[in-house]
């Protein structure tokens, strides 16, 4: 009941977000979070609370995204946008090293050290997405040192979603709308204050630098109610029962041909997906023939070149490429990494130029199986 | 610490004759050739690495001898050019087409859809001085081509890349995937999804570096079709977003009018003709 202090929790005034941002910069973090650019809420460097999309929200549906003014001054009153945190942990273009031809040797020049990021406003689905990418880049014999350096240093401040977009389906994937671990601090936004949950010692240290007061039981109840209301407002669902079998048994389903008629093979879904990790490596020599950069760039199974091999292309048609994407996300990912490759963020639905919806495609495939 | 690798081949052998570069113009606006002059900082490196043996925009040297690399700009529009492209091919080891004209006939290939005599009569005061093939053709219609660089005009960075790789004895890697991939790598917000703009990026080849989107504008296809695009599905989507049939036809029928994928996309509506 109200009155008793809630351990691991605190309450801060909204104005403390500014203190938080300034403090993080002062402690050497590069603070990145939501901000408005080019008609959308993107993730970029945040210099002050004024950079946040305060009072804005988004309207999302398949193939469409629009900004809209809210009738309140919410700091985090929107869902996820086109960018995800992989922009920083797994940059779209990264020079791995530069090779220089000296008189007697080839010199290998290491890249600049990885920046130390503070992520502000990480949603439940995206926290899971980071964990999913951890399995790709940090587990097993081949650990990616670039991802590792960024990931280990990153401070993660989560935000519990107070509203879902029509494209969200985190409840189906068990990833949201409430942050379920993997953060240093988690914020729940109320009209005049934030409830702060501490997730790590580092988070505790950050909280200590803010003017806070103890949370009471009523704050926790309010946060629970908010999470429940958000979950109940979610309109999209994805049935992930009988994965990976569903797709493995339907590799010749006629639906793949139908979706291939609409799919542009444009790669947008894989670019915006917070778990897609495919990349290729280009060598960029200079004209003088003295230095060459080895550059890693995001790539995609929708790029025909990506499946070029000696003697042909393993996925020559869009049908096979779309099937690869969906089968990898929802089925073979489970075999490969022990989790689904989809966290239910809905980005691939919104940012598909033709509005192809993986929940609809999966339902169609399932329909035939049950018939 | 990363240890230095021992060098395998001695770098400084006695200086060999530099590879000979020729730049040739056919029916075109000169924009692609100018990309070479536009390389400014790197132009001196180019001149250091290759002998610019023929380049009307830059030197008075006459056309003679053979070329290690021939850069060809422009389409083949008359019989004189037909003979000239065969001559360039015979003189050259590696022939690179620069831009939409040389690879697809260019903007002037819009005339391919009409009768040349009619157009000549409308445009020129004295048609008797004009000699034209009935269509504007790509170089590849007459001679084998080693590489085609897309664009109207080309991207000078891609040109430098082609020269750097060719000089190093490797085959240049010119990507032909959808522009969207580059647009997203740059972190740009999709103008089609966020504003409903008719962007051709999903069907257009990469190469420009997503310039238009970085200025909040949609792509108008000046790098031609991507590898295996689904341009017709894009055209259908643009129609859903409210683009008029004529606007869609024009979008797909400007820079790469002869590309079959763009032709097909331009015809998705009944009542319009290419
Ligand atoms: S597949 Fe789509 S909904 Fe799932 S995580 Fe990727 S972008 Fe989000
Ligand atoms: S869905 Fe495609 S781009 Fe994404 S991780 Fe799988 S193969 Fe790579
Ligand atoms: S599903 Fe949509 S976003 Fe993905 S490649 Fe196809 S058209 Fe592009
Ligand atoms: S703006 Fe154009 S090029 Fe960029 S992702 Fe959207 S459709 Fe593709």
Annotate B187-235 with DSSP letters as a single string. Answer: TPPPHHHHH-----GGGBBS-S-SHHHHTT-----TT-BPSS--HHHHH
> For residue A3, is pLDDT > 80?
no
Question: What distance in Å separates the CA atoms of residue B267 and residue B253, rounded to the nearest whole number?
Answer: 10
- Predicted pLDDT at A368: 46
Instruction: Name beta bridge partners: A99.
Output: A108, A292
Which chain B residue's Cα is nearest to A84?
B187
Q: Which atom of ligand 1 is nearest to the CA of A125?
A: 5
Ligand 4 atom 6: residue of nearest CA: B190
Q: In what order do the strands lie in the sheet with A30-37?
A: A40-45, A30-37, A117-122, A155-159, A185-189, A193-198, A5-13, A212-216
Average pLDDT of the segment spanning B127-142: 93
- Measured from the CA of A272, which atom of ligand 1 is nearest? 7
- B44 near A CB under 8 A: no
C-alpha to C-alpha distance for A251 and A148, rounded to whole angstroms: 36
Residue B256 to residue B243: CA distance in whole angstroms: 20
Q: d(Cα B108, Cα B124) in Å, to the nearest integer?
A: 15
Count Cβ atoms within 10 A of the Cβ of residue B162 and give its class: 0-12 exposed, 13-18 middle, 19 or more buried. buried
**Cβ-count burial B212-244 (b if 16+ within 10 Å, e if not):** bbeeeebbbbbbbbbbbbbbbbbbbbbbeeebe
Any atom of ligand 4 within 6 Å of the Cβ of B226:
no
How near does any CA of chain B get to the CA of A102, in Å?
A: 9
Q: Which of A81, A84, A273, A332 to mutate to test the pocket of ligand 1 (most atoms within 8 A of CB)?
A: A273
Q: Is the CB of A260 under 6 A from ligand 3?
A: no
CB A171 within 8 A of CB A123: no
The mean predicted confidence, pLDDT, of chain B is 91
Last residue of a domain, one of B147, B167, B187: B167
Q: pLDDT above 70 covers what percent of chain B?
A: 93
Q: Do B147 and B215 fall within a single domain?
A: no
User: How far is residue A335's CA from residue A328's CA, in Å, rounded to a whole number?
Assistant: 9
**What does pLDDT average to over chain A?**
95
Residue A369: predicted pLDDT: 40
For chain B, positions 190-209, list CB contacts with chain A under 8 A.
190-196, 199, 201-203
- Is B203 among the domain residues? yes
Of B167, B190, B201, the CB nearest to A289: B167
Is A105's CB within 8 Å of B45's CB? no
CATH number of the domain encompassing residue B38 = 3.40.50.700
Same domain as B85, residue B51: yes
**How far B7 CA sits from the closest chain A CA (Å)?**
5
Q: Do B202 and A353 touch (CB under 8 A)?
A: yes
Contacts with A106 from chain B: Cβ below 8 Å: 4-7
Q: Is B95 helix (H, G, I), strand (E, B) or coil?
A: strand
Q: Which residues in chain A touch residue B201, judged by CB atoms under 8 angstroms apart?
A: 266
The verdict on B210 and B262 lying in the same domain is yes
Q: Is residue B119 located within the same domain as residue B213?
A: no
- Lowest pLDDT segment from A188-202, A212-226, B88-102, B158-172: B158-172
Location of structure tokens 């490797």:
B170
Question: CB under 8 Å to B38, separation ≥6 — which residues?
Answer: B156
Please answer whether residues A230 and A177 qualify as being in contact, where contact means their C-beta atoms are separated by less than 8 angstroms. yes
Q: Is the CB of A203 inside a 6 Å radius of any atom of ligand 1?
A: no
- Is B213 a domain residue? yes
Which three-class secondary structure state does DSSP give residue A296?
A: strand
Report if residue B14 sits inside a domain: no
Positive or negative torsion for Cα B125, B129, B133, B134:
positive
**Same-domain check for residues B148 and B212:** no
**A101 beta partners:** A106
Q: Last residue of some domain: B167, B197, B214?
A: B167
- CA B48 to centroid of chain Cα atoms: 25
Interface test with A, best of B190, B202, B228, B252 (most A CBs within 10 A): B190
Residue A89 φ/ψ, nearest 5 degrees: -80, -30
Over residues B205-245, the pLDDT tens digits come to 999 999 999 999 999 999 999 999 999 999 999 999 999 99
pLDDT in tens, A13-34: 999 999 999 999 999 999 999 9
Answer yes or no: is the C-beta of A91 below 6 A from any ligand 1 atom: no
Q: Are residues B148 and B81 in the same domain?
A: yes
Ligand 2, residue A300: give the atom nearest the CA: 3
C-alpha neighbours within 13 Å on the C-beta side of residue B173: 8
Q: Which residue has the tokens 């020079």?
A: A95
Structure-block tokens of residue A357: 């919806």
Read off the pLDDT band of B1 (50, 70, 90). very low
Q: Which two tokens stand for residue A126?
A: 């995206």
Most confident of A32-41, B16-25, B33-42, B114-123: A32-41
**Is the per-residue pLDDT at B10 higher than 90?**
no
Q: Hey, which residues does A117 pair with through a beta bridge?
A: A30
Asked if A299's CB is within 8 angstroms of B189's CB, the reply is no
Rounded to 5 degrees, φ, ψ at A279 are -155, 165
Task: State whether B186 and B163 are in the same domain.
Answer: no
Quote the pLDDT of residue A49. Answer: 98
In a domain, B189, yes or no: yes
What are the tokens at A165?
Answer: 């977009």
B75-129 pLDDT per residue, tens: 999 999 999 999 999 999 999 999 999 999 999 999 998 888 889 989 898 988 8
Nearest CB neighbour to A101, from listed B11, B42, B176: B11
Whether residue B101 is contained in a domain is answered as yes
Tell me which of B118, B146, B167 is where a domain ends: B167
Residue B174 falls within a domain, yes or no?
no
Q: Which of A239-253, A339-353, B8-22 has the lowest mean pLDDT?
A: B8-22
Residue B172 counted as domain residue: no
pLDDT band at B272 (very low <50, low <70, confident <90, very high): very low
pLDDT recorded at residue B226: 98
Range of the domain at B261: 179-270
Instruction: Tell me how crowded residue B175 is: count the other CB atoms within 10 A of its CB.
Output: 18
Q: Can you say how many angstroms the Cα of residue A15 is from the centroid of all Cα atoms in its chain?
A: 27
Residue B102 lies in a domain: yes
Cβ-based contacts of A92 with chain B (< 8 Å): 184-187
Closest to A43 measured CA to CA, from A99, A121, A135: A121
* Closest alpha carbon within chain B to A93: B185
Three-state helix/strand/coil letters over A214-241: EEEHHHHHHHHHHHHHHHHHCCCCCCCC
Which ligand gives the minimal distance to the CA of A328? 2
Q: What is the pLDDT of residue B166?
A: 87
Per-residue pLDDT, averaged over A278-282, amounts to 96
Average pLDDT, stretch A125-152? 97
Count: domains in chain B: 2
Contact criterion met (CB below 8 Å) for B177 and A264: no
Query: Which residues of A fall within a CB distance of 8 Å from B6?
Result: 105-106
Choice among A249-253, B125-129, B269-273 with the minimum mean pLDDT: B269-273
Query: Which has more confidence, B132 or A303?
Result: A303
Whether residue B227 sits in one domain with residue B257: yes
Of A66, A267, A351, nearest to B181 by CB-CB distance is A267
Task: Clarify whether residues B33 and B92 are in a common domain.
Answer: yes
**What confidence tier does A6 reach under pLDDT thresholds 50, 70, 90?**
low
pLDDT in tens, A213-223: 999 999 999 99
B13 confidence band (pLDDT: 50, 70, 90): low
Q: Which of B91, B88, B65, B66 is nearest to B139 (CA)?
A: B88
| pLDDT surpassing 50 at residue A255 | yes
Whether residues B146 and B188 share a domain: the answer is no
Q: Are residues B188 and B124 in the same domain?
A: no
- Statement to judge: residues B30 and B145 lie in one domain: yes
Residue A20 Cβ contacting ligand 1 at under 6 Å: no
């Amino acid at each position: 009941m109200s009155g008793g202090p809630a351990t691991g929790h605190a309450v801060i005034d909204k104005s403390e977000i500014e203190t938080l941002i300034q403090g993080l910069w002062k402690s050497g973090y590069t603070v990145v979070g939501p901000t408005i650019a080019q008609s959308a809420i993107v993730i970029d460097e945040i210099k002050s609370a004024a950079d946040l999309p305060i009072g804005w929200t988004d309207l999302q549906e398949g193939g469409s995204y629009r900004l809209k003014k809210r009738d309140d001054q919410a700091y985090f009153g929107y869902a996820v946008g086109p960018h995800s945190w992989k922009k920083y942990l797994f940059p779209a273009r990264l020079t791995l090293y530069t090779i220089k031809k000296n008189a007697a040797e080839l010199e290998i020049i290491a890249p600049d050290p990885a920046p130390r990021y503070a992520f502000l406003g990480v949603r439940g689905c995206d926290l899971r997405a980071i964990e999913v990418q951890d399995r790709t880049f940090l587990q097993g014999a081949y650990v990616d040192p670039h991802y590792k350096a960024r990931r280990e240093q990153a401070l993660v401040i989560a935000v519990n979603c107070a509203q879902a977009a029509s494209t969200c389906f985190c409840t189906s994937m068990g990833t949201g709308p409430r942050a379920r671990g993997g953060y240093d601090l988690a914020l729940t936004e109320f009209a005049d204050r934030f409830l702060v949950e501490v997730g790590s010692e580092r988070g505790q240290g950050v909280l200590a630098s803010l003017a806070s007061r103890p949370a009471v039981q009523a704050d926790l109840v309010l946060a629970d109610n908010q999470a429940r209301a958000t979950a109940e407002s979610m309109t999209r669902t994805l049935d992930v029962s009988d994965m990976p079998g569903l797709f493995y048994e339907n590799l010749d389903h006629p639906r793949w041909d139908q979706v291939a008629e609409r799919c542009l093979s444009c790669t947008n879904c894989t670019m915006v997906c917070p778990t897609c990790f495919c990349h290729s490596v280009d060598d960029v020599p200079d004209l003088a023939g003295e230095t060459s950069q080895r550059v890693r760039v995001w790539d995609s199974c929708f790029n025909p070149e990506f499946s070029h091999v000696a003697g042909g292309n393993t996925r020559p048609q869009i049908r096979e490429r779309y099937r690869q994407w969906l089968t990898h996300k929802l089925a073979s990912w489970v075999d490969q990494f022990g989790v689904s490759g989809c966290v239910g963020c809905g980005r691939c639905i919104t940012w598909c130029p033709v509005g192809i919806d993986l929940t609809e495609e999966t339902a169609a495939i399932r329909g035939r199986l049950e018939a | 610490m990363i240890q230095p690798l021992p060098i395998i081949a001695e770098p400084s052998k006695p200086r060999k004759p530099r590879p000979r570069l020729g730049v040739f113009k056919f029916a075109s606006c000169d924009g692609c050739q100018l990309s070479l002059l536009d390389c400014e900082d790197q132009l001196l490196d180019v001149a250091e690495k290759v002998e610019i043996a023929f380049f009307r925009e830059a030197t008075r040297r006459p056309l003679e001898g053979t070329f290690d690399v021939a850069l060809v700009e422009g389409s083949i529009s008359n019989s004189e050019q037909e003979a000239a492209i065969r001559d360039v091919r015979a003189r050259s080891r590696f022939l690179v087409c620069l831009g939409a004209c040389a690879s697809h006939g260019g903007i002037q290939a819009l005339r391919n859809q009409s009768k040349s005599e009619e157009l000549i009569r409308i445009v020129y005061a004295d048609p008797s001085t004009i000699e034209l093939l009935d269509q504007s053709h790509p170089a590849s219609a007459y001679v084998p081509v080693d590489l085609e660089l897309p664009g109207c005009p080309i991207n000078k960075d891609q040109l430098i890349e082609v020269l750097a790789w060719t000089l190093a004895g490797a085959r240049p890697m010119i990507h032909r995937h959808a522009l969207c991939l580059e647009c997203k790598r740059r972190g740009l917000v999709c103008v089609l999804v966020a504003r409903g703009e008719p962007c051709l990026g999903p069907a257009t080849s990469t190469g420009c570096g997503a310039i238009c989107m970085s200025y909040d504008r949609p792509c108008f296809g000046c790098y031609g079709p991507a590898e295996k695009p689904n341009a017709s599905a894009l055209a259908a989507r643009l129609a859903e977003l409210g683009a008029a049939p004529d606007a869609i036809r024009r979008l797909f029928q400007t820079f790469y009018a002869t590309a079959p994928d763009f032709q097909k996309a331009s015809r998705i509506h009944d009542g319009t003709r290419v």
